[in-house]
A and B are shown apart, each in its own frame.
Chain A
Amino acid sequence: MSAATEAAVGGRRPAPRIRRGLRLAVSQGQFLTVLAGVFLILMLLMIVQDGAGTAGNEVWRGLVLGAIYALIAVGYTLVYGIIELINFAHGDVFTLSAFYSIFLAGIPGVQEGFFKRFFGFDINHLAGSSPGGLVLALLIIFPISMILAGLTGVLIERVAYRRLRNAPRLAPLITAVGVSFLLEGIMFAFFVPPAPPGQPGLGTPGAAYPTGEDGWIPTTHVLFNIGGSHGVVIGANDAMVIVIALVAMFALAGFIRYSRTGKAMRASAQNRDAAQLCGININRTISATFFLGSALAAVGGVVYAMHYHTITWNQGYQFGLIAFTAAVLGGIGNIVGAGIGGFLIGLVEAFTVTLIPNGGSWALIVVFAVLILVLTLQPTGLLGMRVPDRA
């Protein structure tokens, strides 16, 4: 082409405006600044009130919980990004995957694990034998639980959502709520401790499922202690949660960025027709999305079961909603945003618990207040998409 033509092509249009929710909406920059400011002030308040050591421990605990929210949030954001569905069953896939891992490994003295029963191989013993054995046990339990959860996610999409892909938006949404109840019912039937003899019913609703008092990594094992006896304690157990979560999320981000399937997922999310015209199989790509999202939730589920020692059949409902909040805070559809949002929500919980008297019962109220504020002020979240789709 001639130089003149190239000049004609070159003129860039002014930066396009991003659609905003309400007139209240603030710019992304303002939002970030305010958010950073608020977090700083809360942190200072905590230090003044409880001293640096306690404040540090609470923040650290918030980050550990946040890591789990982050792992779940990624699944919400992936699925929303590609089919614009809020997959309400996702939180229950998280719980279910924790139960998968318990089913595989068993609980010493309570329940025989799958490996022990069918192969005579005690994975709990292996985990306790040596650091190398622990790593090996993790390398067995994580992939298998992730694959089982991934297949569960694929099955859910195939059975419940696929036929509704071109239905009005509300239909798959309600179906997702239905799938959530279905999964919770299944978990209730299988994983609730039996009712005491003479009492009616399947069992005690809300009863915790014991995942064993002594986990694979003893809670007493301290990795770092910053600032002595009143300082910040970093347990190996906590560190494991954060390390595994970060590794899983970076691996996922890399997969989405560089792999063929990952590119197909991004393309399908940005323009489904065009993706098909490029030879991308949409159904297979959506299945892959559900597989990955559910596998990440399984990382969260397994880590949760190992770290917190009890898990309840209906816990996924609450965890799902909190993780969804994290995904919205980070900017729904944005994977890095979901990760950051998860950690931030974990911190919000930590602040609530320490700064408000009897804060534990306020945690959910504060988290959902955050959700409402984000949706009002900055619907695209922290890292919402800055480049609009131009038809």
Chain B
Amino acid sequence: MALLEVDAVDVFYGRVRALQGVSIEVDEGEIVALIGSNGAGKTTTLRTISGLVRPARGAVRLAGKPIHTMGAEQIARMGIGHAPEGRRLFPRMTVQENLDMGAYSRRDGAKVKHDFAWVYSLFPRLAERRRQLAGSLSGGEQQMVAIGRALMSRPRVLLLDEPSLGLAPILVDAIFDVIREINGEGTTILLIEQNALIALHTAARAYVLETGSVTLSGPASELLASADVQRAYLGM
């Protein structure tokens, strides 16, 4: 059984259908990528998993347990960490406070301390800026805070929405190094990425979304070799 299952989900915004019969499985310990063009429904898929959007049909299950009927805050407590589109930091809180909010629902104070150290070791830049307001950071630093905040809940599944958006190329590689490192320490990851090349090189498996439906899926290496994917997403 997959750790995270999205099962034949339909989502509507008003009358507009955003997702149609989307099914995605993520196994424990995997990195799975969701690729597709703008408006294909990638962000909506993640927002549905974390409960910010409710599906009209279908189910989302975490370790076999349906979570799509729960509130977003309950889902967060169940073990879904989400670094959302546009980072969504608390701009008038410090870096430290932002990370602290990530651990909001945890009661294990000693381990939280340990995880602060862990996040700061993943992003040494944040340790230097811990007393600075998050709203005053650069885009790359904000991305680190967003990922760090999601990690502070010690999620079973980490959802990352466009971790590379707006970052300098050298920083994109660095962020993806950290993503692999996080995964190496046992966190399951589902990520969205515009940059299909780096996504497919990082993930074990991937799904291609087009206008709200999954059109292709399989091992990342197969998708990399697929002529359709190469033409549409890799510019070859």
Contact = CB atoms under 8 A, between A and B. Distances in A.
Interface of A: 1-2, 4-6, 8-13, 260, 263-264, 266-267, 270-271, 273-282, 385, 387-391
B50 interface: yes
Contacts of A388: 91, 135
Interface in B125-149: 125, 133, 135-138, 140-142, 144, 149
Contact of A389 (B84, B135, B170): B135
A5 to B, nearest CB: 4
A273 B51 CA distance: 10
Contacts of A2: 174
A81 to B, nearest CB: 10
A326 B29 CA distance: 55
A357 B89 CA distance: 53
A276 B76 contact: yes
Contacts of B144: 9
A9 B141 CA distance: 6
Given A1-B174, A10-B138, A391-B86, A276 B72 contact: yes
Interface of B: 50-52, 71-74, 76-77, 81-82, 84, 86-93, 97, 100-102, 104-105, 123-125, 133, 135-138, 140-142, 144, 149-150, 153, 168, 170-171, 173-174, 177-178
Nearest to A9: B140
15 contacts: A1-B178, A5-B171, A6-B124, A8-B140, A9-B138, A10-B138, A13-B138, A260-B104, A263-B104, A267-B101, A273-B52, A276-B51, A279-B105, A279-B153, A390-B91
B125 A6 contact: yes
A273 B88 contact: yes
Report which residue of A9, A12, A270, A387 has the largest number of chain B beta carbons within 10 angstroms of its beta carbon.
Answer: A9
B104 A278 contact: yes
B77 A279 contact: yes
Given A1-B123, A10-B138, A276 B73 contact: yes
A22 to B, nearest CB: 24
A8 B100 CA distance: 26
Contacts of A391: 86-88
B90 A266 contact: yes
Report which residue of B73, B74, B82 has the largest number of chain A beta carbons within 10 angstroms of its beta carbon.
Answer: B73
Given A276-B72, A281-B71, 16 more contacts: A5-B170, A5-B171, A5-B174, A6-B125, A9-B141, A12-B136, A12-B138, A270-B92, A271-B88, A276-B76, A277-B81, A278-B105, A278-B149, A279-B76, A387-B92, A387-B133
B135 A387 contact: yes
Contact of A274 (B74, B89, B92, B100): B89
Nearest to A386: B92
B179 to A, nearest CB: 12
A299 B81 CA distance: 41
A274 B137 CA distance: 17
A97 to B, nearest CB: 30
Contacts of A281: 71, 73
B16 to A, nearest CB: 17
A278 B124 contact: no
B124 A279 contact: no
A273 B72 CA distance: 9
Contacts of B105: 278-280
Contacts of B104: 260, 263-264, 267, 278-280
A274 B88 CA distance: 6
Contacts of B91: 270-271, 387-390
A343 B84 CA distance: 41
Given A273-B52, A277-B82, A266 B93 contact: yes
Contacts of B142: 390
A278 B71 contact: no
A282 B135 contact: no
Contacts of B141: 9
Contact of A4 (B149, B170, B177): B170
B139 to A, nearest CB: 8
B160 to A, nearest CB: 12
Contacts of A6: 124-125
Given A1-B178, A9-B140, A13-B138, A279 B92 contact: no
Nearest to A285: B73
Contacts of B133: 387
A8 B101 contact: no
A391 B153 CA distance: 22
Contacts of B102: 278
Contacts of B140: 8-9
B125 A273 contact: no
A390 B97 CA distance: 17
A4 B73 CA distance: 38
A267 B86 CA distance: 16
